[in-house]
Amino acid sequence: MNRTTAENPLKKLDDWDDFVASRYKENKDREEFRNYDPDVNPGVAEFYRLNHALQTVDFVQDKEREYLPLQKEQKTIWEAAEFLNTLVDDSDPDTDLTQIEHLLQTSEAIRMDGHPRWFVLTGFIHDLGKVLCLYGEPQWAVVGDTFPVGCAYSDSIVFPEYFRANPDSQNPLYQELYGIYEPHCGLENVHMSWGHDEYIYQATRNYLPEPAHYMLRYHSFYSAHRHGAYRHLMSPHDEEMFQWVRKFNPYDLYSKGAAKPDLPEILPYYQDLIAEYFPGKIQW
Ligand SMILES: [Fe+2]
Ligand SMILES: [Fe+2]
């Protein structure tokens, strides 16, 4: 196994998204429960084993220092989407959606439900942070459920047993309920495991309204928005804003079955929409 395969056990990034969608599907059948079984789904299990073992406080702070000054390059939103589309996983090009098609299925489902334009735009950009893969980051540092580092892990995070291999689990302070944080300090003061959510939030935060910030920044924080964990770190304002994260989540999870978007037909709408909120090239 070469180094890349060892770090990237998912055949494609979408395998994680598909696993999450199956986890939260209503009326799961027996077969679907078996998706948690490492024998049935070895790529997903290995992916979480790496993610939970390697996302430490030190790792997260290194990545924040590396990426959050946004000094990589300048690109328009559309250029970033086309760049993300060059991501070639080991997938079947006939049946799989491209990255842009997943973004458009999400945003079109939001548009069909009559939500405001900024909400549609948020759907379109929500996974652009996955360009981290093209900057050389392994899958476990790009996708996966996100969680706070520097405090006790919630049992409602998927595969919690894999945290035993994380060096932070040997640090007594990091294993206290509040760890390095204060009660109800607000999520803006909490370091989340590193991934595509934080990156797209930071790259676009100056251009979108606050509910969009929460949707982007916490869309993979399933233990909080699905299971109600980590309320002891959230401020009353976070609690209020999480209604938007929950409003967004079904469009991310369940829009995949929809028809393939007809790009030439809807492109002008998206070009106008992007131009309404973004100044052209932005910093990444
Ligand atoms: Fe995502
Ligand atoms: Fe997504």
Shortest-distance ligand to the CA of residue 200: 1
CA of 127 to the centre of ligand 2 (A): 5
282: enclosing H helix or E strand: strand 282-283
Q: What distance in angstroms lies between residue 253's CA and the mean position of ligand 1's atoms?
A: 9
Spacing, Cα 162 to ligand 1 middle (Å): 22
Mean pLDDT of 101-119: 96
The residue among 26, 50, 28, 27 whose CA lies nearest residue 38 is: 50
The pTM assigned to this predicted structure is: 0.95
Torsion on CA atoms 83, 85, 86, 89, rounded to nearest 10: 140
As a whole number, mean pLDDT of residues 103-128 equals: 97
Buried b (16+ CB within 10 A) or exposed e, 91-122: beeeeebbbbbbbbbbbbbbbeeebeebbbbb
Under 8 Å CB-to-CB from 19, ≥6 apart: which residues? 35, 41, 44
**17 alpha carbon to ligand 2 midpoint, in Å?**
7
**CA 254 to centroid of ligand 2, rounded, Å:** 10
Q: 173 alpha carbon to ligand 1 midpoint, in Å?
A: 30
Ligand nearest to the CA of 252: 2
Q: In this predicted structure, what is the pLDDT of residue 3?
A: 55
Least confident of 44-58, 180-194, 254-268: 254-268
CA of 127 to the centre of ligand 1 (A): 5
Looking at the predicted structure, is the pLDDT value of residue 220 above 50?
Answer: yes
Question: For 78-98, what is the mean pLDDT?
Answer: 83
Ligand 2 geometric centre to CA of 170 (Å)? 33
Question: In this predicted model, what pLDDT tens digit does every residue of 166-197 receive, in sequence order?
Answer: 999 999 999 999 999 999 999 999 999 999 99
Query: Mean of the per-residue pLDDT values for the chain?
Result: 93
pLDDT of residue 92: 66
Between 88 and 199, name the one with better pLDDT. Answer: 199
Lowest mean pLDDT among 5-9, 97-101, 205-209, 237-241: 5-9
Is residue 164 very low, low, confident or very high in pLDDT (cuts 50, 70, 90)? very high
Ligand 1 centre distance from Cα of residue 128 (Å): 8
Answer for the pair 102, 256: CB distance below 8 angstroms, yes or no: yes
Q: How many angstroms is it from 128 CA to the middle of ligand 2?
A: 9
| Residue 1 confidence (pLDDT) | 44
The band of 130, judged by pLDDT with boundaries at 50, 70 and 90, is very high
Beta bridge partners of 75: 282
Q: What is the pLDDT of residue 131?
A: 97
Give the pLDDT confidence score for residue 76 in this predicted structure. 98
Under the banding of pLDDT at 50, 70 and 90, the label for residue 91 is low
* Span from the CA of 216 to the centroid of ligand 2 (angstroms): 10
Task: State percent of the chain over pLDDT 70.
Answer: 95
Distance 202 CA to ligand 1 centre (A): 14
Q: Looking at the CA of 143, which ligand is closest?
A: 1
Task: Please give the distance, rounded to the nearest whole angstrom, from the Cα atom of residue 256 to the centre of ligand 2.
Answer: 10
Confidence at residue 204, expressed as pLDDT on a 0 to 100 scale: 98
